[in-house]
Structure 1
Amino acid sequence: MTLPWHSQVDIIAAFSFLGFVLISIPLYWHCVAWNIGCVLYIFWVGGQCLFQAINVLVWRDNVINIAPIWCDIFIRFYIGASIGVCTASLVINRRLYHIANVSSVSITRADKRRNIITDFLIGLGIPVLAIAVYWVYEGHRFDLMEGVGCIEAYPNTWLALILYYLWPIPIGLVSATYCVLTLTAFFKRRRRFTELMASNANITFNRYFRLMGLASLEFLFTLPLTVYNITENFKLAPYKWRGMANLHSRFGRVDQYPAVIWRADPQLISVINFRLWMPIACALVFFLFFGLAEEARKHYKLAITSIAKKVGISTMERSSEFDSSVSKTVGLSGTALPTFINRTIRRASLDSVFSDDQSAGHSAEGSHDKVLHSPSGLSVGSSTFIGSPVSEKDQEHAIHPVPPLPSLPFMRVPDSSAVHHPTPSKSEVLGGRGAGGRGRTGATQRGLKLHRDGLSSHDFVS
């Protein structure tokens, strides 16, 4: 049983929005890694899904020309995206080939810049060229179809065959050549390839083979689907060529086709279904390759943690339970003191939330002038440590698990009235490299002499 057409339109719109969301998820880390091929793939396929979802909703049950400028933009983007998906696959295969055949693990900045420019020229330049030549075989401004929206209008001519339908075939053949050469180079230079992977943080073995799998799958389907698309389109009534003037006559018109008219042709239904579902399939395949990988799961975890903090949901329940148990077991003898803990989270990194390191945040100097704190303020899992204040009365009964280190004796050089020694010279104070010659200052030598005489340095402290 076939669903009603309007129900099919709703399903297509839902999957188109879903495809746009799913393919946009890995965009950030591909931008960070400078994977130009994947970024361009997301741009073309994600743009198709988004535009398509809007179109089928706006023209779900009508063919009214309410947004002609929008349609002018969309049909040209669609022409570019149809070629851009193939060029993005070519960029990916070309980059993988150069990685497998690189002669040195170190690449200069000029080489990186040159590779990026070349990738953009292939991934954007060829689709823009296809958009520019669209006017040559364009029949009129555009068409409107109920449940589909605005579509490009060009008759089945030999110009359309050469300037539009045949683009994916040479691009797919070049991409297939790069893929075969990449596999050959990988198996020949596997040890060198391992060193390159270890020196490059932006690409790993898993990511490398996922990229290769995506590009290979794309060109494996490009050739047969292109042939199928050409066959289905030319099964329709061919246009009898009468020259460019006849082709562009009444160029500004907009033809409108209600669903009851265009759905009466089974061949046209097949072509439209292929057109609507192909971007969705490409988006889902890309998400399966990159949206479920290990680095993707890490980004999902960070995103969920960030959103949970913004809405006020705690992500530290286990740590809080452990904190309470520590506070109950570690404390003063016979005295239950409340714990006042102010958690301070470093915003610079999400990893600090899950850190077990404690930062004291207090210097050792002048600690006798501050209020003492009990160890019950220990906060496990927090990035700061702030103890609970202890009164002077409870201080006497406090149990310190680790006794404090004894402070170094305070030694002051006695003046000339207490001990009759000559004032040290400048060379003795700075380096002690005069008569002593062993790196000790004059004050230290006198202190050692006092120690041999049985005198304490505290006797000279005023």
Structure 2
Amino acid sequence: MPGALQAAPFIALGLLLVTLPHHWRVRNIATLSIIAWLSAYNLMYGVGAVVWDRNDEIRATVWCDIVTKIKIGADAGLPGCCLCMAKQLNRIAYGLDMSPRGWKHRTLDILLCWGLPVIVMALHYIVQGHRFDIIEDIGCIPAIYVSWLSIIILDFTAFVPAILALIYCGLALFKLGRRRRLALRIMLNKPDSALTPSRYIRLMILTFFLGTWSILLISVSASNEYTEGLQLWTDWASVHEDFSRIVRSRTTDFSAPTLRCIYMLWWAVPLSSLPFFAFFGIGEEAMKDYRASASWVGRVVLRRQPAGDPIRADMVSVDASHSPGLGRKPIISLSDRMRPLPPIPYDVRTFNQV
């Protein structure tokens, strides 16, 4: 199990980065943001599994301070990205988004994908009872003072966007079922659109999957955190008393159901990266990117000349002074180069040169 914990996040990170050129070319804020959040999550999980392998020692405290905040932001950012993508797919299904997206829609995309997570990261300090927790084999995780405020700040801000994303996907599927041929024909006949019917269907399935997955994980996490009930919110001083404390836990300190829940939530992040590779990493577009990357490596890194690319005469420089039998190269002026050559007389009956 420890070896798998260390390898899985880095494998998932590699699969995500494979799909990055395709999504970067399309320049969709939502999909690029999902890749960014999942990549950060996998990198943090991989480092945590390596550093805290079979130990819960207090180390890399600054790293943990940064990582725990990013995890809070990712928990809110991924459902926000799903909502952003579902809204765009729904507008396309209703025929409202056939033109390039304007600054108003892009601003909303940025707010959902990045503005909301930053706000939640800042508000997390309200329900942060101590610095952070360290779990053996897992690494550092955010500290949460489980109360009614944590439900609003952390769970509500992630659960609502995920629910709305599923609603928008349902509306889009309903509309496409009624006008499927017309909608797909509009996308096919739009020459400047980067969204093909195949890509639209893949994005719809991916959004629906991630939205459902987010709701499931939020529900499991909440049930695990609130099993023992809510803590009373008295005042700021009592909640943040001994704030610099770091809680360390071994795997043997948890009950079997709690430990299974912790591992399930951990494995959910690498598994969430697989749909991206399944939908966008093995298709025809991805194969073109792979061939282009291999060609670039062979041409730039390995200095190999592509097959079927003959050496042009203007790429070869001949020094007459070091070449036997060659005199000085005549100087040809620009006017001589532009002067047309005299016609060669041919016998039109035999096509033989006179």
TM-score range, shorter chain: 0.7 to 0.9
Q: CA deviation at 1:271?
A: 2.7
Q: CA deviation at 1:129?
A: 1.9
CA distance in 2, matches of 1:34, 1:238: 44
**Aligned 8 A contact 1:92 1:215 in 2:** yes
State how many pairs are aligned. Answer: 322
The letter of the residue matching 2:71 is Y
Greater fraction of residues in helix: 2
**Aligned 8 A contact 1:142 1:255 in 2:** yes
State whether structure 2 residue 182 is matched by structure 1 residue 243: no
CA distance in 1, matches of 2:221, 2:34: 21
Relative to the length of structure 2, the TM-score reads: 0.82
Q: Counterpart in 1 of 2:201?
A: 209
Q: CA deviation at 1:80?
A: 0.8
Paired residues for 1:169-318 under 5 Å: 169-189=159-179, 190-199=181-190, 200-235=192-227, 237-238=228-229, 240-241=231-232, 243-244=234-235, 245-259=237-251, 261-262=252-253, 264-309=254-299, 310-312=301-303, 316=307
Q: Counterpart in 2 of 1:342?
A: 311
Q: Counterpart in 2 of 1:453?
A: none
**Aligned 8 A contact 1:63 1:256 in 2:** yes
Q: CA deviation at 1:298?
A: 0.5
Classify 1:240/1:201 alpha carbon distance in 2 versus 1 (closer, same or farther; 3 Å).
closer
Classify 1:271/1:192 alpha carbon distance in 2 versus 1 (closer, same or farther; 3 Å).
closer
The letter of the residue matching 1:114 is K
**Aligned 8 A contact 1:233 1:271 in 2:** no
**Aligned 8 A contact 2:79 2:214 in 1:** yes
Q: CA deviation at 1:191?
A: 2.0
Residue among 89, 102, 107 paired with 1:96? 89
CA distance in 1, matches of 2:7, 2:314: 40
Q: Which moved more, 1:153-162 or 1:185-194?
A: 185-194
CA distance in 2, matches of 1:60, 1:286: 28
**Aligned 8 A contact 2:9 2:270 in 1:** yes
**Aligned 8 A contact 2:187 2:195 in 1:** no
**Aligned 8 A contact 2:30 2:109 in 1:** yes
State whether structure 2 residue 67 is matched by structure 1 residue 74: yes
Q: Which has the higher contact order (CA 8 A, sep 6+)?
A: 2
Classify 1:136/1:344 alpha carbon distance in 2 versus 1 (closer, same or farther; 3 Å).
farther
Classify 1:106/1:149 alpha carbon distance in 2 versus 1 (closer, same or farther; 3 Å).
closer
Greater Rg by CA? 1
Classify 1:120/1:221 alpha carbon distance in 2 versus 1 (closer, same or farther; 3 Å).
same
Classify 1:144/1:85 alpha carbon distance in 2 versus 1 (closer, same or farther; 3 Å).
same
Q: Counterpart in 1 of 2:334?
A: none
CA distance in 1, matches of 2:10, 2:199: 26
Q: Kindly, what percent of the aligned residue pairs are identical?
A: 25
State whether structure 2 residue 350 is matched by structure 1 residue 406: no
For structure 1, the residue ranges without an aligned partner over 5 or more in a row are 1-7, 321-340, 347-362, 369-403, 408-462
**Aligned 8 A contact 1:13 1:56 in 2:** yes
Q: CA deviation at 1:313?
A: 5.3
Q: Counterpart in 2 of 1:19?
A: 12
Classify 1:251/1:285 alpha carbon distance in 2 versus 1 (closer, same or farther; 3 Å).
same
The letter of the residue matching 1:180 is G
CA distance in 2, matches of 1:226, 1:345: 65
State whether structure 2 residue 19 is matched by structure 1 residue 29: no
**Aligned 8 A contact 1:143 1:153 in 2:** yes
Runs of 4+ in structure 1 deviating by more than 6 angstroms, as ranges, are none
Q: Counterpart in 1 of 2:323?
A: none
State whether structure 2 residue 31 is matched by structure 1 residue 38: yes
CA distance in 2, matches of 1:295, 1:405: 50
CA distance in 1, matches of 2:52, 2:44: 12
For structure 2, the residue ranges without an aligned partner over 5 or more in a row are 316-336, 347-354
Q: CA deviation at 1:113?
A: 2.0
CA distance in 1, matches of 2:68, 2:34: 18
Relative to the length of structure 1, the TM-score reads: 0.64
CA distance in 1, matches of 2:215, 2:54: 35
Deviations 1:383-430 (A, max 9, x none): xxxxxxxxxxxxxxxxxxxxx8539xxxxxxxxxxxxxxxxxxxxxxx
Deviations 1:221-264 (A, max 9, x none): 333332222222323x44542513322110111122244x43x5
